[in-house]
Amino acid sequence: MEYMNRKVAVIGVGNTEYTSNRRETRSKAELAYAAVKGALNMAGVGIADIEATVFTSVDGFEGNVRPARVLESFGQGLNIPLVDVNTGGTAGGSGVKEAIHMVSAGLYDLVMVYGSPTFQGVVDNQQVLNTASPPIFEKPFGLGAAHMGSLYCAGYMRKYNFTMEDLALVSAKSHKNAAKNPYAHLRKGYTLEEILNSPMVAWPLHMYEICPNSSGAVAMIFASEEKAKSLCPTPVWVKAILSITDTFFTGYRPYTGFPQLKILAQRVYHRAGITNPRQEIDVAELFNPFGPFELLEYEALGFCGQGEGVALMRSGATEIDGDIPCNPSGGTLCTNSGIAASVTRHAEVVLQLMGKAEGRQVKSPKTGLAHSWGGNDGQFHTVCIFSLKED
């Protein structure tokens, strides 16, 4: 294995149900406990067996500097190391990567990753997202999350002369899938018509093409080969994971696609031995807090050619029963618990491969791809490939 020292597998996932931050009555600590307990139960281990915890969140969105310190579900009572990874929206991907490295390196055999539900206490989200905007150069302009998303959708739409309906189709798919996902937040199943009739927030995005703020948490347990084989009937093996970095300023991005993701995908596919992603990937969870992002991601990940994202969507290939199902969970568009959402992309792929994706199960997937996006207007991406195949 050229890029891994030891094999690493996921043996447990814990999920809470998601709801809106306004309706949430569970405290942050209770959510943490529920997700962690769920993961431990599935893995068949206790908290005392965990050797290190990777905590992922974005402080600026949490109302607490270093929230990991004040939450107690992660084994601090047993004094285990608490690794605090914060890379913005990709913190989930980065946190998963950290855990994988720790196990692959031979430093630890059982590592837990916990994704904090972000924005939980925040009263005004756009303003809070604006705190991530480059100060002095971009912050004064009222550039919030919705605008970071709409810039990409505007550029993509104009470049290929797509209509708003072309773009909205993919959000309708997400909403339809989420309606069947017992863990999703928005389960109304908005139709194409309802989406196009919802208020325009930041051109060209309508309200139902933009994610909600969800409350809920997720935890995953990564294990060495020996532990995985002794504990888990269907360990899900990690084939490769990497991230990529762009410049800091919003102004430096080309808004017609995700070129950094394209470069990243090539590197990850090389490490995972994938030569034809469209054929070899059986399920993908792609980061789509803004529905149309999924189209840009199809292209960057090589599921179709440049400018062909809409055609791929229209072909039905990315539906749950298609040949490359994308976001069968409904994706981030329907459940956005902040950083937990970027861990969730990995958790969902694992659940799919384990055959445990209640209500949203894709038929017999063997290899899956999890993507996360984040930082100031998509400065970072991560891609991870999971597989049931050990070698």
Partner 1 sequence: MKVGIIGYALVGFTDEVNIRTDELVFKAAKAALDRAGLTREELDVSVITSLDAYDGITISNGLMAPGAGGYEKDATRIQGGGVGAIMSACASILSKSSRIAIVAGADATVFDDPIISNASYDAFFRRPLGMSNQAGYGLFATSLLRDRGITEKDFAALAARNYRSAAQNPNAHRKKSYSSEEILDSPMVYWPLRQLELGPVSRGGAALVLALEEKARELSRDPVWVTGIGGGSNPYYGSWSDLVDLKGLKHACRKAYSMADIKDPAAEIDAAEIHNPFAPFEIPVCEALGLCQKGQGLDFLLEDKKLINTSGGALGTNPPACGGYFRTIQALECLKKNDRAKRAVVQDSDINLGFFGETYHVLVLEKAGV
Partner 2 sequence: MENIEVLKKEYNMHLDFSVSLGPAYTKWMMGLKDKKLLANKCPKCGRLFVPAKPFCEICFEEPQEWIETDGTGTVECFTVNYGTFRNFPDPPYVLGIIRVDGSAVSFVHWVAGFDYDNPEEIPDKIQIGMKVRPVWAENRKGDLLDIKYFEPY
* Interface contacts to partner 1, rule CB under 8 A: 1-6, 52, 58-61, 63-66, 68-72, 75-77, 79-88, 94, 97-98, 100-102, 104-107, 128, 131-132, 134-135, 241-248, 260, 263, 374-376, 379-380
Helix, strand or coil, per DSSP, at residue 287: coil
Q: Find where tokens 């150069």 sit.
A: 137
Phi, then psi, of 199 in degrees rounded to 5: -60, 145
Least distance from partner 1 to the Cβ atom of residue 155, Å: 20
Q: Which is nearer to partner 2, 143 or 385 (CB)?
A: 143
Contacted entry of partner 1, partner 2, none for residue 48, CB cut-off 5 to 8 Å set by kind = none
Least distance from partner 1 to the Cβ atom of residue 129, Å: 8
Contacted entry of partner 2, partner 1, none for residue 355, CB cut-off 5 to 8 Å set by kind = none
Q: Tell me, what DSSP letter sits at residue 5?
A: S
Positions in the binding site for partner 2 (CB under 8 A): 25, 27, 63, 123-124, 126-127, 130, 135-138, 140-144, 146-147, 150-151, 154-155, 158-159, 199-204, 247, 249-255
Contacted entry of partner 1, partner 2, none for residue 322, CB cut-off 5 to 8 Å set by kind = none
Q: Find where tokens 């206490």 sit.
A: 121
| CA 207 and chain centroid, separation | 21
Cα–Cα distance measured from residue 344 to residue 235, given in angstroms and rounded to the nearest whole number: 17
Q: Tell me, what DSSP letter sits at residue 290?
A: B
Contacted entry of partner 1, partner 2, none for residue 307, CB cut-off 5 to 8 Å set by kind = none
Q: Which is nearer to partner 2, 77 or 142 (CB)?
A: 142
Cα–Cα distance measured from residue 113 to residue 289, given in angstroms and rounded to the nearest whole number: 22
Are the beta carbons of 375 and 87 closer than 8 angstroms? yes
Least distance from partner 2 to the Cβ atom of residue 217, Å: 17
Q: Find where tokens 């107690």 sit.
A: 72
List C-alpha distances in Å: 176 to 140, 170, 185.
Answer: 38, 10, 12
Q: Find where tokens 């394209």 sit.
A: 262
Contacted entry of partner 1, partner 2, none for residue 70, CB cut-off 5 to 8 Å set by kind = partner 1
Contacted entry of partner 1, partner 2, none for residue 276, CB cut-off 5 to 8 Å set by kind = none
Q: Which is nearer to partner 1, 80 or 284 (CB)?
A: 80
Least distance from partner 1 to the Cβ atom of residue 242, Å: 5
Q: Which is nearer to partner 2, 16 or 150 (CB)?
A: 150
Contacted entry of partner 2, partner 1, none for residue 15, CB cut-off 5 to 8 Å set by kind = none
- Selection from 90, 373, 92 nearest residue 258 by Cα: 373
Least distance from partner 2 to the Cβ atom of residue 140, Å: 6
Least distance from partner 2 to the Cβ atom of residue 138, Å: 5
Contacted entry of partner 1, partner 2, none for residue 13, CB cut-off 5 to 8 Å set by kind = none
Give me 232's structure tokens. Answer: 């888990």
List C-alpha distances in Å: 251 to 222, 254, 256, 377.
Answer: 38, 8, 13, 9
Q: Which is nearer to partner 2, 139 or 366 (CB)?
A: 139
Q: Which is nearer to partner 2, 151 or 370 (CB)?
A: 151
Contacted entry of partner 1, partner 2, none for residue 343, CB cut-off 5 to 8 Å set by kind = none
Rg over CA atoms, the chain: 19
Least distance from partner 1 to the Cβ atom of residue 268, Å: 10
Cα–Cα distance measured from residue 362 to residue 329, given in angstroms and rounded to the nearest whole number: 10
Question: In sequence order, what are the residues at sequence separation of 6 or more whose Cβ sits closer than 8 angstroms to the Cβ of residue 53?
Answer: 74, 75, 80, 81, 82, 83, 111, 112, 113, 114
Least distance from partner 1 to the Cβ atom of residue 368, Å: 20
Q: In 10 A of CB 275, how many CB atoms? A: 9
